[in-house]
Amino acid sequence: MRNLFAATAALALLATPALAQQKPKEIVLGITTYLSGPASVFGVPGRDAADLLIEEINAKGGIQGVPVRAVYIDEGAGTENLLAEYRRVSQSENAAFTLAAISSGNCNALVPVAEDLKQPNIMWDCGTQQIFEEKRYKYSFRTQANATPEMLAALLYLVQAKPDFKTIAVVNQDYAWGRDSWNIFSTALKALKPDVRVVAEMFPKFGAPDYSTEITRLSALRPDVILSTSWGGDLDTFVRQAAARGLLKQSTFVLPLAESSLQRLGDTLPEGVIVGARGDHWFLHPAAEDPARHKAFVEKYKAKTGSYPIYPVYHMAQAMAAMQAGFEKAVKAAGGNWPTKDQLAEAMKGLEFRGLTRTVRLREDNQGLEDQLIGTTVRVKEYPFAVLDNMKLYPADLVTTPVGQKSEEWVKTLDKGMPTSPKIQTFAFKP
């Protein structure tokens, strides 16, 4: 009888809260970001934001009473090293959560690994629309938009701001993002303005130091619009060289990722350039849901880094907010016990959270719904760089590919009245 009692007690122990993990001494958070190479202009601000946010979380007692410790992995070291370090942090350091990655190529490589490891993961910055359109995942989530709403919002803005344009040229980096983003933009353009003529498609090498060939050709073609979805040092170099040759005064430039370059470009960028913020990310956001908190963070970030926050900072804040909300939801669902990784992943489903600006919701395919902010540059006395005026806020549900559809096919069906949808809000610059 004694042995039977002991066995029954042991089974009962296994069937109850002991299944829930013991509360750890710390939450290890693995974060991949570019700490070296040209993309470090995104990665370092993202890391700085994570440090600030973790400092705030820990000052308030951590997450559910557990402090957070970040372990950073440099995406600039290459994909092979990234995958090895990701496995090490997930397994050897027992990361409770990972935030990976910036590069779309790295996201494509890491997401299957996260699934194999059953590792809850947030794609905190990568833009490829293909991941959730081609396959469903259990452990990976994206807490911001993807390339489709980012490109579509820029196009909708252009169509309304310059309705009579007849010709367009593109200068994009020659890799997946440059070609995929142009494919989305150009396909949507055919649906909304089929008579517009594409006069040049140029894809200079990633990291190109000289754009004189492209600029000479564009100067001769004189397109009404020049689009570039390039980013970082490549975009900065192209804009500086184009400005020196007078090209920015000859054509209307559309730069969907240029919000992150404005401060670096200083007085180079003139008025009248259409600029996107890869979401609604702008340090002078005209309609933040908690403006006091947003302003306080902007000031704190500026004091720490010497710069105003750019969109990777906002993306990091959204990922951190989602992670916190996921833990809180999972702990509650587990009856106050510490959740397993499976319980964490389940808690992320359909999650709503707010980063620094507005509420984001994760759909059933784990894709985040994020509003898009686009504006036109102006020069003002308050800042030594161009800022945004005539801003338009495009709601996520207007510009995001519906669940179960492929972006390339969906944008072919766009309504020509879309650019003037009453859902779109307009805001003027306010210092």
> What's the confidence (pLDDT) of residue 297?
98
Percent of the chain scored above 70 by pLDDT?
95
In the predicted structure, residue 41 carries a pLDDT above the cut 90: yes
> What's the confidence (pLDDT) of residue 182?
98
Burial class (CB in 10 A: 0-12, 13-18, 19+), 270: middle
In the predicted structure, residue 13 carries a pLDDT above the cut 60: no
In the predicted structure, residue 224 carries a pLDDT above the cut 50: yes
Helix or strand (DSSP H, E) at 197? strand 197-202
Of the listed ranges 18-22, 261-265, 321-325, 394-398, the one predicted with least confidence: 18-22
In the predicted structure, residue 209 carries a pLDDT above the cut 60: yes
Of the listed ranges 11-20, 138-147, 414-423, the one predicted with least confidence: 11-20
In the predicted structure, residue 128 carries a pLDDT above the cut 60: yes
In the predicted structure, residue 83 carries a pLDDT above the cut 80: yes
Name the β-bridge partners of 201: 170
> What's the confidence (pLDDT) of residue 431?
84
Of the listed ranges 9-23, 110-124, 334-348, 354-368, the one predicted with least confidence: 9-23
> What's the confidence (pLDDT) of residue 20?
52
Whole-angstrom Cα distance, residue 214 to residue 257? Answer: 19
Whole-angstrom Cα distance, residue 279 to residue 395? Answer: 10
Sign of the alpha-carbon dihedral angle for 262, 310, 139, 75? positive
Query: Please, which pLDDT band fits residue 18 given cuts at 50, 70 and 90?
Result: very low
Whole-angstrom Cα distance, residue 95 to residue 421? Answer: 44
In the predicted structure, residue 9 carries a pLDDT above the cut 50: no
Q: Which residues contact 22 (CB under 8 A, 6 or more apart)?
A: 338
Of the listed ranges 7-21, 65-79, 172-186, the one predicted with least confidence: 7-21
Span 396-419, mean pLDDT?
97
Buried b (16+ CB within 10 A) or exposed e, 97-128: bbbbbbbbbbbbbbbebbeebebbbbbbbbbb
Whole-angstrom Cα distance, residue 34 to residue 40? Answer: 5
- CA nearest neighbour of 368 among 104, 125, 32: 125
Bond preceding residue 208 cis, omega within 30 of 0: no
Backbone torsion region of residue 64, taken as left when φ is above 0, otherwise alpha when ψ lies between -120 and 50, otherwise beta? left
The pLDDT tens digits for 42-68 are 999 999 999 999 999 999 999 999 999
In the predicted structure, residue 12 carries a pLDDT above the cut 90: no
pTM given for the model? 0.94
> What's the confidence (pLDDT) of residue 38?
84
The pLDDT tens digits for 139-194 are 999 999 999 999 999 999 999 999 999 999 999 999 889 999 999 999 999 999 99
Cβ–Cβ under 8 Å, residues 153 and 276: yes
